[in-house]
Amino acid sequence: MTNTIWGGRFTASPSEIMEEINASIDFDKRLWRHDILASKAHVAMLGETGIVTAKEAKEIARGLDQIMAEIEAGKFKFSRSLEDIHLNVESRLHELIGPVAGKLHTARSRNDQVATDFRLYVRDEIGAIAAALRALQLALAKKALQYAGAVMPGFTHLQTAQPITFGHHLLAYVEMLGRDRGRFTDAAKRLGECPLGAAALAGTSFPIDREATARALGFARASANSLDAVSDRDFALETLAAAAIAAMHLSRLAEEMVNWASPQWGFVRFSDKFTTGSSIMPQKRNPDAAELVRAKTGRIAGAFQALLMVMKGLPLAYAKDMQEDKEPVFDALDALKLGLAAMTGMVEDIEPDLRAMKRAASSGHATATDLADWLVLNLGLPFREAHQIAGRIVALAESRGSDLKKLPLSDLQSVEKRITEEVYSALDALGSVKSRTSYGGTAPANVKREAKRWIKRLEKDAETR
C-alpha cells in the first residue's frame, strides 16, 4: 500500500528494503511532544491569520491534545509504514477529526517541521544538561570546601610535581565544567531561530506570521533564510561539540578517580554504590562507574564526527541524509546525562584518605621548587642558580634514599653553605601549600574562598533557573 500522505504521485508500494531504510519512526518518535507543540503553535497561527477558520483551528488543536494524551498514556500505536513521527501524528489526527486534519499541513513542510521539532528537542536537552553540569559543579565545590586544607601531590607528566590541596584539585574541574555550561548556553542562544514556516525550502505564498509562531514556541526570532532554515544542523553539531568537550572533562576526572582508588595510590575509597566486584577475585573493588564514564567519551565524540560527515557534502537544501542527524544526538546526549549523574554520585560518595595523600605529597621531592624559592628569597640568588642548587640537593637526597625534609643540615650546606635551619619550613608539604597565596593558587585560604564563591553562585543559579 502506498503512503496516503505522499502517495498521490506513486502507483506502487515501496519495497520492504526501501521501507526499512526510509522509516525513522523507531527513533524519531521521541520527538512526539515537540512535534505536537509545534503543530499546535502552527495551527494557532493559521487560525489567527485566517488561513483556516477559528473553528477548524480549535478542532485541530483538540485532536492534537487527544493524541498527546494517548501517547502519554502509552495507548498510541506507532506505524513504521507511516515513516516518521510527523505522519504518524497527522494520520491519527485524520482518524480523530476527519478531512479537516489535512489543513494542519498548510504553509509548512516536513522539512521545516522536523527542523523545528529537532531544535525544540535539543533546546530541552541543553537545559537538562546545564542543570546536570551545575549539580556536578556544586558537588565538587562542596567537597572542595570540606577538604580545602587536605594536602596531596600535584602532578605534571604524572610525576610528582608540587604539593597542592585536594580541594584545589577538585575546583579545577569546577572551572572546566563552568566553561562547558558556557558552551551549552552559547549553543542555546544560536539555536534560538524558528524554522517553522520556511516550508520545503522556498517559503510560502500564504500570509503566515512566522514571528508569532516563533514567539509561541519560545524562540527569539524566525530564521531569516528559508534555505538555511531547513538545511541547518549547526545547532546539533555545536551541541555535540560542547557535549564532546564536557565528556572529555568527565573522562579526565574519571581517569583520576580510577588512579586514586587503586591500591598503588590509595588516595580515595568509593562505597559499594559506585563499585563492583569480581566473579573470580574476592578482594576486588572495581571503580566501574568511573571506567564507564571514561569510555562513553568515545561514543559522544564519535557522534559529533558522524553528524559532521553527514553534513559535509550536502548541497542546499534538504536531503534525506539528514535523517541520520537524530540518532547520534539522541545517543550522545543520553550518554552525557548518564555520565554526569554517575559522576555527581561518585563525587558525593568519595572518601579521601588524608594520611595517604599527605604522605605522597611529602615524598618524591615535591618541595624542591619551594627550596629553590627559599634560596631566592633568603639568599638573593637568581632563580636559575637557585634551581641548579636545588637540583643538586635533590640528587644528593636520591643518592641517600632520603626525602628532602629528612636531609641533615650539614648535607644541605655541603651544596650551599649559606643554607640555614629555617629552610626546613619550606620543605614541609603543608607549609608549601599554605605559601601558595597568589590568585588562583592552592593555599587553603584561597580554596575556601573560591569554593564558597562557587557554592553561592551555583545555588543562586539553581534558584533562578
Catalytic residue check, 278: yes
What angle (nearest 5°) sits at the alpha carbon of residue 161, between those of residues 158 and 165? 100
Query: Which set of grid coordinates corresponds to residue 250?
Result: 568527565
Cell numbers 597568589 correspond to what residue? 438
**How far is residue 447's CA from residue 433's CA, in Å, rounded to a whole number?**
11
Residue 50 burial by CB count (10 A; 0-12/13-18/19+): exposed, middle or buried?
exposed
CB atoms within 10 A of CB 394: 17
Burial class of residue 402, CB neighbours in 10 A (0-12, 13-18, 19+): middle
Note the Cα 84 to chain centre separation in Å.
28
Residue 321 CB coordination number (10 Å)? 12
| C-alpha cell read off for 42 | 502552527
Annotate 365-425 with DSSP letters as a single string: TTTHHHHHHHHHHHH---HHHHHHHHHHHHHHHHHHT--GGGS-HHHHHHH-TT--TTHHH
Residue of 346, 255, 334 lying closest to 300 (CA atoms):
334
157 is catalytic: yes
Which is the catalytic residue, given 157, 399, 410, 438?
157
Please report where in the chains the cell 554526569 appears, as a residue: 340
Contact in structure between 325 and 289 (CB atoms under 8 Å): no
| Cα 18 from chain centroid (whole Å) | 36
Catalytic-role residue among 271, 278, 279, 362 = 278
The dihedral through the CA atoms of 262, 263, 265, 269 has a sign that is positive
Instruction: List active site positions.
Output: 157, 278
